[in-house]
Amino acid sequence: MRCNLSVFLLFFSLIPGLSSAQSADADLMPATFFEGRRAAFRNLMPDSSLAVIFANPIRNRSNDVDYQYSQDPNFYYLTGFRDPDAVLLMFKEPRNFDGELTNTVIFVRPKDAKQETWTGIRPDLNQVSKITSITKVYATSDFNDFGFNANSLKEILVHYPDQPNKEPMSKIALANLVDDFNAKVNSVKDRIDKSKANRLLATLREVKQPEELLLLKKAIAITADGFTEMLKAMKPGMTEYQAQAIVEYFVKNNGGEYQGYPSICGAARNSCVLHYEANRKVVNDGEVLLTDIGGEYHGYTADITRTFPINGKFTAEQKQIYQIVLDAQTAGIKVCRAGADFRATHKATMEVVTEGLLKLGIISSKDDASTYFMHGTSHYLGLDVHDAGTYGPLKVGSVITVEPGIYIPAGAKCDPKWWNIGVRIEDDILITDGDPVNLSGNIPREAEAIEKLMAKDSFLNR
């Protein structure tokens, strides 16, 4: 039965357990979190150093339309501030500014009633101080006149913005802040390090604090709820974008601001395209649909993939490929333990995939396995879908993905009965001091459990 989109939103409004009245700010990070992260970062800074972290630029989509703004993760991690055109300065040792010793200064856009009519109310300097727990807050219009003794600094760690916006008529645009800063340190530019700040922040962001885990678990939970309903709702004749819409609705309706990355929903040949994003195909009886979606909640993103048969029953060939990937993922999750090498998951999954493909006769040499499993198995997860980290031994408090896959497009050098079967299973795994915890494990993974869930009725098909 095809989903009746004319009643789509009506039924969504009646979903039990979802509260449209939920406060979007109920779970925002306290200012003390960002204060603690700055202290941890400062402890890693070299003596007599300055760290300069710029906000993300506003990026233009076309003509006078910009992309929805998303803050630089490092800047947010240290400040909690989400607005553009800002810069954070952190000194290793306290310095005297306006008669007060401080080691942290932030510059933000000043209030502008005319601009706020178009783009929304900006926080004033006092409000920024409350958000960030930074006492020295200045307007960016004052940055050019702000002075510090650059010659007294042994190192300057700078996290520059990528392609800062150019606004020649504006004195507060990010590009102008970058130019002004470079002018201030021109005499000691040989002391600038453009990578150390990112490396130091990666060591911190790799291990999630309790406050971060709460938000990450919420992002995963609201995404998982959408996956569960999608599995029940999908039928032949629906479209890839309808699968996408179901999951993304659950994210938005439960307070998620964005998707952590463009949703991937690919059926048949499209299931074999790793980052397929068009999502326009009608899905047909006998095909599998690979869905890779992650909702973002207050900056932290989920990353989940499930592959399932559109008609609710795997064919013999689909089930065989699916079982290999499931066995591989199980093996990968098993080695997600503190102290294990980061690539241990990939080694474990690749061994299972290689053995399975050899057994089915899809490959004749172990070296050919990467033809059908061509990507890595794990990455860190957090403020970015591919989050910052050291990629060294796994640490307690880290969250990583485990996502093996097999992709056999039409024309592959194997029996055509395997063609157009693309399978990936991905879950978000918390590293503990004991067994790993699958944070997205409430979505069925076993083939039989998926078929059982898909046999259940969805309110979307009533």
| pLDDT single digits (tens) 184-218 | 999 999 999 999 999 999 999 999 999 999 999 99
Structural domain includes residue 430: yes
Predicted TM-score of the model (pTM)? 0.92
Structural domain includes residue 241: yes
Structural domain includes residue 18: no
| Helix (H/G/I), strand (E/B), else coil: 320 | helix
Give residue 99's pLDDT.
87
Q: Is the pLDDT of residue 122 over 60?
A: yes
Which domain-ending residue is among 204, 238, 267? 204
Spell 274-305 as b/e; 16+ CB within 10 A means b.
eebbebebebeeebbbbbbbbbbbbbbbbbbb
Query: What is the C-alpha separation between 390 and 205, in angstroms, rounded?
Result: 9
Give residue 321's pLDDT.
98
Give residue 323's pLDDT.
98
Based on the structure, what is the number of domains in the chain?
A: 2
- Beta bridge mates, 95: 102
Confidence band of 351 (pLDDT split at 50, 70, 90):
very high
Q: Is the pLDDT of residue 336 over 80?
A: yes
Neighbours of 342 (CB within 10 A): 21
CATH code of the domain covering residue 260: 3.90.230.10
Give the up-direction half-sphere exposure of residue 439: CA atoms within 13 A in the CB hemisphere. Answer: 30
Give residue 441's pLDDT.
97
Give residue 352's pLDDT.
98
Which domain-ending residue is among 189, 204, 219? 204
Query: What is the C-alpha separation between 436 and 319, in angstroms, rounded?
Result: 26
Task: Compute the C-alpha angle 115/121/122, nearest 5°.
Answer: 85
- Beta bridge mates, 406: 423
CATH code of the domain covering residue 74: 3.40.350.10
Average pLDDT along the chain: 92
Contact 268, 35 (CB under 8 A): no
Same domain, 197 and 221: no
Structure token pair of residue 248? 């993304």
Query: What is the C-alpha separation between 181 and 12, in angstroms, rounded?
Result: 50
Per-residue pLDDT averaged across 70-81, rounded?
A: 97
Confidence band of 136 (pLDDT split at 50, 70, 90):
very high
Query: What is the C-alpha separation between 248 and 265, in angstroms, rounded?
Result: 12
Per-residue pLDDT averaged across 140-163, rounded?
A: 92
Same domain, 297 and 369: yes
Burial of residue 371 (number of CB atoms within 10 Å: 0-12, 13-18, 19+): middle
Q: Which residue has the higher pLDDT, 166 or 84?
A: 84
- Find the domain containing 454 and state its range: 208-461
Same domain, 192 and 249: no
Which domain-ending residue is among 163, 178, 204? 204
Extended strands (E) in 233-299: 258-259, 264-267, 288-293, 295-297
| Helix (H/G/I), strand (E/B), else coil: 239 | strand
Spell 418-439 as b/e; 16+ CB within 10 A means b.
bbbbbbbbbbbbbbeeeebebb
Structural domain includes residue 29: no
Closest CA relative to residue 56, chosen from 68, 42, 39: 68
Neighbours of 2 (CB within 10 A): 12
Same domain, 139 and 228: no
| Helix (H/G/I), strand (E/B), else coil: 354 | helix
Per-residue pLDDT averaged across 245-254, rounded?
A: 96
Q: Is the pLDDT of residue 428 over 70?
A: yes
